[in-house]
Chain A
Amino acid sequence: MLESLLFLIMGSITIACALCVVFQKNPIYSAIFLIQTMVSLAVLYVLLHAQFIAAIQVMIYAGAIMVLFIFVIMLLNLSKADEEGERDNLFFQKPSAIILGFILVVMIGTVTLKTVFQGVKGEYTPETISQIGNTQLVGKMLFTKYVFPFEIASILLFAAIIGAIILAKKRIIED
């Protein structure tokens, strides 16, 4: 009972903040509402017994990635540039996009409600997870079954660091 109440509260906060992300004029407000969306999603992850993911959701998404976004917004000083930028060149774009989004929601909803979800149940019930520890299980999986993707992820991050530096630095040969 308390759980479903918490779900309803956090779910409505998530949806409201997600709508604010899309419909706010100022990009910095969008970014702050996106942080709130991510934090309330972290609460939902805790409700789903994924504590480790909830923690890294707050740390990586709400912490690192969104700080990067806000940093770039402030670096480019976008709040002024945005106001004249959001003029409507295509008058039918907004209404048709909203109608299409509504159709997408209805489609996903019907498919979800009609489908009977089946599948082979694994061994990690919430009781087992709370006994061993969620973080410990994630770590064990990362270094046994998923060790190769884990190594690839490190190479990907390395490539991303180099790519970001190369792209964002000033050209020396420019003038």
Chain B
Amino acid sequence: MIPLTWYLILSGILFSIGAVGVLIRRNAIVIFMCIELMLNAVNLAFITFSRQLNSMDGQIFVFFIMTVAAAEAAVGLAIIIAIYRNKATVNVDDINLMKW
């Protein structure tokens, strides 16, 4: 049996990689994929705790996180398409209308 801290550390590493990706990339779609990566890391932590506590609630939470992630991906990609249509770019450096 694998110690469950290994899973939690893997989840932490994945979350950090996702966070670094959000900070260093400028392509809006890649930033979006990094957010999905972070959501997946959280899912792994949920499943690990669900396994450790012999409970099903963690798995149900992962189910709901996947639902929200699907909704978020659909709306977010629609927003990116709308931005691309208006400004012909998905580079977040060029999308700076709200910068003062």
* Chain A residues near B (Cβ < 8 Å): 3-4, 7, 11, 14-15, 18-19, 21-22, 27, 30-31, 34, 37-38, 41, 44-45, 47-50, 52-53, 56-57, 60-61, 64-65, 68-69, 72-73, 75-76, 78, 81-82, 85-86, 89, 93-94, 97-98, 100-102, 104-105, 108-109, 112-113, 117, 119-126, 134, 137-138, 141-142, 145-146, 149, 153, 156-157, 159-161, 163-165, 167-168, 170
Contact = CB atoms under 8 A, between A and B. Distances in A.
A101 B17 contact: yes
Chain A contact residues, majority secondary structure = helix
A113 B63 contact: no
Nearest to B72: A160
A98 B21 CA distance: 9
Contact of A21 (B26, B33, B70): B33
A52 B49 CA distance: 16
Contacts of A60: 66, 70
Contacts of B20: 22, 97-98, 100-101
Interface in B63-77: 63-64, 66-75, 77
Nearest to A102: B16
B63 A56 contact: yes
Residue among A3, A22, A160, A170 with the highest chain B CB neighbour number at 10 A: A22
Chain B contact residues, majority secondary structure = helix
Given A76-B84, A93-B24, A168-B78, A48 B5 contact: no
A122 B54 contact: yes
A61 B23 contact: no
Given A53-B59, A156-B68, A121 B53 contact: yes
Residue among A68, A97, A159, A160 with the highest chain B CB neighbour number at 10 A: A160
B46 to A, nearest CB: 9
Interface residues of B, number: 73
A122 B56 contact: yes
Nearest to A142: B60
Nearest to B5: A112
B63 A100 contact: no
Contacts of B63: 53, 56, 138, 142
Nearest to B33: A34
A34 B29 contact: no
Nearest to B62: A53
A97 B61 CA distance: 30
